Structure 1
Amino acid sequence: MGSINIRNGKLVADFRYMNQRCREQTKLLDTATNRKRLTKLLKIIEAEILTNTFEYAKYFPNSKNVQKFEMLNERKQTATNYFNAPDAPTLKAFSELWFNEKAIEWRKSHKQSIEGILESHILPAFGHMKISVIKKQDILTFRAALAKVQTRTKKTLSASRINHIMTPLRMLLNEAADRYEFTSPWKNIKALKIPRTEVNPFSLNEVERLIKTAPDDFKSYYMVRFFTGLRTGEIDGLHWDKVDLDKKQIYITQSLVKGDMTDAKTDGSNRTIKLTDRVVSALQQQMKVTKHLGPFVFCKKNGKPFNYQTISRVIWEPMLQRLKLKYRNPYQTRHTYATLLLAAGESPEWIAQQMGHTTTTMLFRVYSRYVPNLTRQDGSAFDRYVETQGEDNA
């Protein structure tokens, strides 16, 4: 709503037009009568703005804002005419323009992810439609349909995955709205609420059984996964030059994502991980097997890196089935490491550093129910916990 200010003893009209603040000096002295006159005028101006009939020059012909708003209105009208024209862009046509402009900002893996979402979900649903005809209801209907899609394991898409698919659509529509001067149909559509991170770690006994049942050429791989908390991309992209067995450390600076080496996930992911004696021993054994094949610590016989989807399907799932353990995705090895450290009584700050978290906030939020009395900060408690099979903490 407009307001009245005073400058040099005269009234100033203060209002918003086209999302910009406008302050226009009048020749009216600050009197009760003049305030009423200006208040009435401001109400008329605001009514005309709401009905899209306001002409700036009609009320403030000598204002420097007249030319500015005439140019803005002209640009808006040009964009509107193009947007509503028979040859206005379809979402497919605009998506190609948008993708080419944005691609330079993205990592290769992110480009592939966006490209996959466009091809698999967004373009089949909206590609043939003009952007001008896509409505809020169309978006909500599309999202509801995603909730019924089944994955390879016959499960429905998670809220997180649905939000991930919807993000490029939101970016497309909002960019088009800015470019063609219209109100985005995405207005007031909120992302789905994502449930708390599911933590379903293995017990130490289950970890030992899994390592024991793993194929001989994968025992070291799972030993390192379970007792370092590395993410899948971090362990699959681990190079021998990042392993220092004398200092019992590995250095995480990169990750293997969809077959390509990239920088670590976040700045906090760049870290030095302290290794237990068991992990050092496993890496010494692994060195005999793969050091001569190339840079990757864990790799195929030809030196090429693993494909995590293949390893999960061919190695991981059969291991769980043999032991009659409930299926859990391989990322639970990372959660297992965190919970074992907590159960051993290691310091939260030290655990966060090992995991690649910049603060302990996520540690407590995700693993709060696994936090006992926390005292140690050097890994020694975890060594003893593993060596004694957890008996000392029983």
Structure 2
Amino acid sequence: MAVIHDAWHSKTGAAQCREHKKPPSKAHGYGLRWQVRWRDANGVQQKRSYAKKGDAEDKKKAVESALIRGQLTDPKVTFKEYAEKWRASQPHRPTTVEVVGNSFEKHAYPAFGSRRLISITQSDIQSWAVSLPVAPSTARRILSNVGPVFSAAVRDGIIGRSPCQGIRLPQPPHREIVPTSASQVRALAASLPARLALLPVLLAGTGVRPGECFGLRVADVDSVTRTVTVRQQRQGGVDAPLKTARSHRVIPVPKSLLDAVAAHVEVFPSKDGYVFSDAKGQPLDEHRFRHVWHRAVKAAGLPKGTRIHDLRHTYASALIAAGATPVTVARRLGDSVITTMRVYAHCWPTDDDQTRLAVDAFLSAPQVP
């Protein structure tokens, strides 16, 4: 085998090209080849062979350019190896760590975890994504968890383009929000243990997310300003940052709800000042509360599959029915206006009659010659 003659200097990290003095004979089944050798960012020697010297020269230039930019890494790295390093460097919240981990361990790694990262194509991802044995919405979430790994590989110079770009998935079925009624909220409260009876009332009365509700402290409830301040959430047994910057908010609440909170904490105090706690005074989180919730849903006669999160929809629907604007609803929920409209647009009253009158006035206007 022969390589291009060009001295290699280990101190500079330049690519090596050297001509073999005795090229292999064609009788052995191959002719003259040109080889480029270099060491990647991890110090591991790499090499590529080419039939044409010009192709080898082009590779040499590309390698040297990548080495200068510090973008060259081991092309033999597998998806799982790279993904694990990526996961360890991410500032994920506890629940995000769990969700991303499940996406990788249950779906991505069995499919292509052992494959070299550079060998995975868009067709591979497309076939994998559409064959996932989950609902369309879940498939989208799994793809959204895997995509950032390939995007990071692009930034690191391992691959030129993310194979997750342009992937098409089935659209999830349209699901309109059906808010829980006031009578159902009361039925849930009656079906829960006494120390948790306030929970559905507080969720429906503030619109906070379940994690935000469990992270709520007594000090966050102000009877003077009649507000509840959302500062943190409780996830995975620890206090965690809120979902987004918008999640930090102050929610106005009625006196009746404040009185209910005051009565609750007087009877069920928490060691650490949380509004909700278990029988030992320890704080709760959604995971520990889930089995209690399912029993309460069944006992209250609510539809199977009713979620804790559905009480957030109850709050939003109540604001909309009272005439609140999309901006107001978004602020109270800690969401963007775009997200609020996407989820709740059908809840706002329609202007059908106004539309009919406007079109009729236009069509019946006198014709100007």
TM-score (norm 1): 0.64
- Counterparts of 1:77-92 in structure 2 under 5 Å? 83=75, 88-92=76-80
Count of aligned pairs: 295
CA shift in 2, pair 1:211/1:138, >3 Å? same
In structure 2, the residue matched to 1:244 is: 222
TM-superposed CA distance for 1:239, in Å, is 1.0
Asked if the contact 2:271–2:281 (Cα under 8 Å) also holds between the matched residues in 1, the reply is yes
How far has the Cα of 1:299 moved from its partner? 1.0
1:181, CA displacement in angstroms?
4.6
Q: Does 1:277 align with 2:284?
A: no
Deviation at 1:349, TM superposition (A): 4.0
Map of 1:321 onto structure 2: 298
Distance 1:136 1:349 in 2: 39
**Equivalent residue of 1:287, what SS?**
helix
- Kindly indicate whether residue 107 of structure 2 is the aligned counterpart of residue 121 of structure 1: yes
Query: Partner letter of residue 318 of structure 1?
Result: R
What residue identity is the alignment partner of 2:297? L
The reply to whether residue 158 of structure 1 matches residue 146 of structure 2 is: no
Instruction: Report whether the alignment pairs 1:143 with 2:120.
Output: no
| Residue identity opposite 2:209 in structure 1 | R
Output the amino acid matched with 2:149.
Answer: L
Query: Which residue of structure 2 lines up, in the alignment, with residue 293 of structure 1?
Result: 271
Q: 1:261 aligns with which of 219, 228, 239?
A: 239
CA contact (8 A) 1:268 1:357 kept: yes
Matches within 5 A, 1:6-155: 71-72=61-62, 74-75=64-65, 83=75, 88-100=76-88, 102-103=89-90, 105-146=91-132, 148=133
Q: In structure 2, how many angstroms separate the alpha carbons of the residues matched to 1:273 and 1:107? A: 24
1 CA distance for matches of 2:333 and 2:158?
A: 45
Structure 1 residue 236, shift from structure 2 partner: 0.6
User: Which residue is equivalent to 2:311?
Assistant: 333
Q: What displacement does 1:260 show?
A: 2.3
Post-superposition offset of 1:196: 5.0
Which residue number in structure 1 is paired with residue 12 of structure 2? none
The 8 Å contact of residues 220 and 229 in structure 2, kept in 1 or not, is answered as yes
Alpha-carbon distance change, 227 to 187 in structure 1, aligned in 2, over 3 angstroms: closer
Amino acid at match of 1:167: S
Q: Secondary structure at the match of 1:296?
A: coil
1:220 is matched with 198
Q: Shift of the alpha carbon at 1:261?
A: 1.4
Answering whether residue 347 of structure 2 is matched by residue 370 of structure 1, we say yes
- Give the Cα–Cα distance (whole angstroms) in 1 for the partners of residues 168 and 267 of structure 2: 51
State the one-letter code of the partner of 2:294.
Answer: E
CA distance in structure 1 between the aligned counterparts of 2:341 and 2:281, rounded to whole angstroms: 39
Alignment TM-score, normalising by the size of structure 2: 0.68
Write the distance in 1 (CA, Å) between the matches of 2:179 and 2:162: 43
SS in 2 for 1:225: helix
| Amino acid in the other structure paired with 2:122 | K
Instruction: State the Cα distance separating 1:305 from its structure 2 match.
Output: 2.0
For residues 73 and 246 of structure 2, the distance between their equivalents in structure 1, rounded to whole angstroms, comes to 48
Give the distance between the partners of 1:255 and 1:113, measured in 2 at CA: 17
Q: Distance in 2 between matches of 1:215 and 1:107?
A: 30
Q: Give the equivalent residue in structure 2 for 1:232.
A: 210
Does the residue aligned with 1:250 lie in a helix, a strand or coil? strand
Give the deviation of 1:368 after TM superposition. Answer: 2.8
Inter-partner Cα distance in structure 1 for 2:145 and 2:326: 37
Structure 1: which 4+ aligned runs deviate by more than 6 Å? 53-56, 76-81
Change (3 A) 1:231 1:185: closer
Q: Which amino acid aligns with 2:198?
A: S
The Cα shift of 1:268 comes to 1.6
Change in Cα spacing, 1:218 to 1:114, as seen in structure 2 (3 Å) is same
- Report the aligned-residue RMSD: 3.5
Tell me by how many angstroms 1:199 deviates. 1.2
Please tell me whether the aligned partners of residues 254 and 261 of structure 1 are also in contact (alpha carbons under 8 angstroms): yes
Distance 1:182 1:362 in 2: 33
1:291 match: secondary structure: coil
Residue 345 of structure 1 corresponds to 323
Please tell me the residue identity of whatever aligns with 2:220. Answer: K
CA distance in 1 between partners of 2:159 and 2:339 (Å): 41
**What's the % identity of the aligned pairs?**
24
Check the 8 A contact 1:76/1:181 in 2, yes or no: no
Cα distance between partner residues in 2 of 1:143 and 1:224:
39
For residues 243 and 349 of structure 1, the distance between their equivalents in structure 2, rounded to whole angstroms, comes to: 23
Greater shift after overlay, 212-221 or 261-270?
212-221
Q: Deviations over 1:139-174 (max 9, x none)?
A: 23322332x2xxxxxxxx333322222234333334
1:162-201 matched pairs, under 5 angstroms: 162-177=139-154, 179-190=157-168, 193-194=171-172, 198-201=176-179
1:357 paired residue number: 335
5+ residue gaps, structure 2, are: 1-51, 352-369
Structure 1 position 333, deviation (Å): 0.3
Report the alpha carbon displacement of residue 348 of structure 1 after superposing the two structures with TM: 4.5
Q: Where do 5+ consecutive residues of structure 1 fail to align? A: 1-52, 59-65, 149-156, 375-394
